[in-house]
Amino acid sequence: MGNSMKFSMKVGKPETVAADCIVALVHSGGVLGATAQALDAATGGLVGHAVQSGDISGKPGSTLLLRGLPGIEAHRVLLVGAGEAGKLDGKTFIKSVTPGVKALLATGATSAAFGPAEALSDRDAGWAVQQIVVALREATYRFDQFKREKADAPKLLSVTFVAAGDDEKPVKAAIAAGVALANGIELTKTLGNLPPNVCTPSYLAETAEGLAKEFGGKGGKLKVDVLERKQLEALKMGSFLSVTHGTVEPPKFIVLKYDGGAKKAAPVVLVGKGITFDSGGISLKPGEGMDEMKYDMCGAGTVLGVFRTLVEQGLKLNVVGLIPTCENMPSGTATRPGDIVTSMSGLTIEVLNTDAEGRLILCDALTYAERFKPAAVIDIATLTGACIIALGSVNSGLFSKNDALADELLAAGKQALDPAWRMPLDDEYQEQLKSNFADLANIGGRPAGSVTAACFLSRFTKTYDWAHLDIAGTAWKSGAAKGGSGRPVPLLVEFLRQRAAA
C-alpha cells in the first residue's frame, strides 16, 4: 500500500547527503535550480556541463539521470525539468514532480533525497514538500489484494528532505501533513476500488469503527455510532429506507464525531453518499459499465478518508461525519416508480425514477444534520451523470446558495489542486421538481440534471449554511487507468485546515 516508505528531514547541504539518488530541478535554457547549483559546485561543474550539452530540455517533466559523480555523497543525481526559472507555480511543480517521481522509482534506488524546496510563485515551500510525499505515495499505491500475482513492491523505502537550518519545523510539519493526507487519499481510493460484495454498508460501518478504535485513543477525540434499521425507522427516515426495500443487505447510518476544537464550537458536518452498489433499482441501469456503480459510495469513502487525515493531523476543529449507506437493488419488494415516500423532514417525495436514489438517502441525512447546530454542512456525492457531461473529470461540481462558503471551498480546491467549479442553484430550477401528487418529485427531467438534483437537496437544508459537491466525474477514473482517484479528499482537508487555522 506504499505505507512502508519512511519520510524524514535532515538539516544540511544537498552534496553531503548519502542517498542512492538525489533529485534536483533544472529550468529551461539550462538554468540550474538551487539544489542543482549546489551539486554543480561540489562536482566541479559536471551537472551544469550535462545540462548545457542539451541532454535535458528543462521542460516540465523532462528528466536526466547522472551516475557516479565525484564530490557528492549521492550515488545518482536525477535532474527534473521545471519550466522557466522564476515562473514555477504549483501547477507546473506538479507537472514536474509526477514524471520525476516515476523516473526516480524506475532507478531501483532504495533511498532518495530532495534538496531544499524551490521557491514557488504561488505556494510556500511546505506545500511543495507535502506534494512530493503525496506524489510518491500515489505512484507506489497498489490495489492487488484480489490478484494471485502481486505487483513488485516498490524498492524505494526511505526519502529524506534536506532543509536549511531555519526551515526545520515547517519541513517536519509539511512531511507530517503530506503523510496524513496520503493516508486519507489511500483509504478513500481503496474503499472505492473494493468490489461491492466486500465493501457493503456493514463494511463501511466496520471501517469507521476501526478508525475510532485506532485513533480514539488520541484523547478519545473520535467517536463512532452506527444506527441500524430499527433506529432509522424510529427517526422516520422514510426516504432513506425506501431505497433499501429491494436488497437483503442491511442499511447503516454512520455517525462520526471528531472533537478537536473548543467544546462549544459549532461543528462542520460532512455528509457522504454511501450507495455501495447502484443497479438503478426497478429503473434498471444499462448493463454496460454497471460494474463501476461500486463507486457510488465514493462520497462515503471521501468522508472516511478525510476523517483519517484530520485525526492523524490533530486538527483543532469539531467535525461530524454522516454516512447514509445501503445498496440500491431491484426485487419484488423494491420501491417502484410512482411510489410516494415521506422523508424525515415530513416532506413527501414522488419517486419518478428509482435510479435517482442518492438524493433520497442524502435528504434524510441532511435533516439529521440539523441536530448538531452546524457551522456549515457539506455533502459529497457521486450524484449525477449530468455533472460528468457538464464538467467532465477535471472539476467537481459545487452548488451553494452561500457565497462565502462557496468561495472558501473553491479557494481550498485551487490551493490543493483538486478543483471545483461553481454551478447555478437559482430558484427557477425548482419548478422542474413539481409533482402533481406529492410535495416534490425526485427528478426534474433531462435539462440541468445536476442542478435539479442539487435543488432537491437544498429543500432539506434551510436551517444552516450548506454546500453540495457532485463528484460523479472526479471520484474515479474509467478505462485503462480504472480506479478510485481519492478526490475530493485534498480539497476538503485543505478547507478544514483553513477553518482550523482561522
- Residues involved in catalysis: 285, 359
Residue carrying C-alpha cell 494471485: 148
Contact of 132 with 170, CB cutoff 8 Å: no
Please name which of 172, 85, 95, 168 lies closest in space to residue 130, comparing C-alpha atoms. Answer: 172
Q: How many CB atoms lie within 10 A of CB 299?
A: 31
Cis peptide, bond prior to residue 488, ω within 30 of zero: yes
Sequence letter at residue 220: G
Report residue 385: phi and psi, to 5°.
-60, -30
Q: What is the C-alpha separation between 493 and 151, in angstroms, rounded?
A: 30
Q: Which three cell numbers stand for residue 229?
A: 434499521
| Number of Cα atoms under 13 Å in the Cβ half of residue 472 | 21
Sign of the alpha-carbon dihedral angle for 101, 103, 105, 107: negative
What whole-number distance in Å separates Cα of residue 365 and Cα of residue 44?
65
In the numeric block, the cell 463501511 is attached to 204
328 burial type by CB count under 10 A (0-12 exposed, 13-18 middle, 19+ buried):
buried
- b/e for 308-323, b at 16 or more Cβ within 10 A? bbbbbbbbebbbbbbb
The CA distance from 329 to 229, in Å, is: 17
Count of all residues that appear for the chain in the document: 502
C-alpha cell at 153: 513492491
In whole angstroms, what is the distance from residue 354 CA to residue 283 CA? 5
What's the one-letter identity of residue 346? G
